[in-house]
Copies of this chain bind each other. A is one copy, B any other.
Amino acid sequence: MNATINRQYLLKQRPSGALQESDFAWAETPVPDPGPGGVLVRNVYLSLDPANRGWINDVPTYRAPVPVGGPMAGFTISRVVASNRDDLKPGDFVEGDGGWQDYAAYGPDDYVYRLPEGDDLIARISVLGVTGKTAYWGLKDIGTPKAGETVVVSAAAGAVGSLTGQIAKILGCRAVGLAGTDEKCRWITEELGFDAAINYRSEHVGKALKQHCPDGIDIYFDNVGGDILQAALFQMNQRGRIVCCGVISQYDTATPAPGPHGVPGLIVVKRLRMEGFIVLDYEDRRQEAERDLSAWVADGGLTYKVDVIDGLEQAPKALIGLLHGENTGKRMIRIAEPEG
């Protein structure tokens, strides 16, 4: 290994309101040492996810908040550079929480998963990664879909949403997606096979849901919260399920909106189930999800689109753009060439 400098983005301060590029600080520090039983990796792909925004508030979520002054966290695929572990050798690719930096050191107890040799890294960080598995487990395990049911998905042209609607179709459901531009709406219906799309910026969401879900909504896969959640709540069928996957509409603000009308009244009278989940909880069933997702990709039932941005330098701007909905499909940063 020749490099001695580790370029990083540190969390400079907790955002007050909408995230700004100036909430991050660029730093150049020495490349870390793997340490006893540890491993040093070169980050190659960095996943950008709406949940990243939640990690930097001063409120513990399913993980402790990213500390101010520390490197920004993020899911990565990385190449092993030096290893003091028997199960990893230089040149192996691993999945982990490598963060917004060139290099990361994982201690012996840190989560790191070795990828099969010759793996498609782009597929691995999108359709087979956290993104794909979020769509898969959220719909399958929390949504518990039955063939013939109606599934509504928000942020349907996003990384998770675009897969969720397609999986709903594969499982025999009717899929209706909400997205923020006509182009996104066309993409999900014409290319991904959603039965209908609603442009939530130009249409009345409640009326459009009624029109496109004549039998009501059985499952609402919620990536956004806020007004769209409220509109969906009023169209839910008895015993419907609301999969609480994310809250894009509320992540990026210091003054979150009140919850939707109808909570908990409609939950009671319609016997609804609203349930959150974290994909990492399904780690022990990884093979099951990857087997199905790979098979669906192979047989053409599941299409995925990626939005690869080159250069670690772009990470803050790219995350902000993601929170504003400028992406179609899975956004990631290519920090280095895989074989670099």
Contacts and interface: CB of A to CB of B under 8 A. Distances in A.
A261 B264 contact: no
A264 B62 contact: no
B277 A271 contact: yes
A229 B62 CA distance: 21
Contacts of A276: 264, 267-273
Contacts of A272: 244, 275-276
Given A62-B238, A259-B258, A259-B259, A271 B278 contact: yes
A276 B263 CA distance: 10
A273 B262 CA distance: 16
B281 A268 contact: no
Contact of A268 (B244, B261, B269, B271): B244
A53 to B, nearest CB: 11
A54 interface: yes
A97 interface: no
Contacts of A69: none
Contact of A263 (B54, B245, B246, B260): B260
A273 B275 contact: yes
Given A62-B238, A238-B62, A264 B270 contact: no
B261 A258 contact: yes
A316 B128 CA distance: 60
A171 interface: no
A268 B62 CA distance: 9
Contacts of A245: 268
A247 B263 CA distance: 9
A62 B269 contact: yes
A54 B258 CA distance: 23
A214 interface: no
A259 B264 contact: yes
Contacts of A225: 263-265
A258 B273 CA distance: 19
Interface string A79-114: 000000000000000000000000000000000000
Nearest to A55: B269
A256 interface: yes
Contacts of A242: 264
A122 interface: no
B268 A247 contact: yes
A264 B244 contact: yes
Contacts of A327: none
A274 interface: yes
Q: Closest 4 A-B residue pairs measured CB to CB?
A: A259-B259, A259-B263, A61-B269, A258-B258
26 contacts: A62-B269, A62-B271, A222-B264, A244-B264, A244-B272, A245-B268, A247-B264, A250-B265, A256-B261, A256-B265, A258-B259, A258-B260, A259-B259, A259-B260, A259-B261, A259-B264, A263-B263, A263-B274, A268-B276, A269-B276, A270-B276, A271-B281, A272-B275, A273-B273, A274-B275, A275-B275
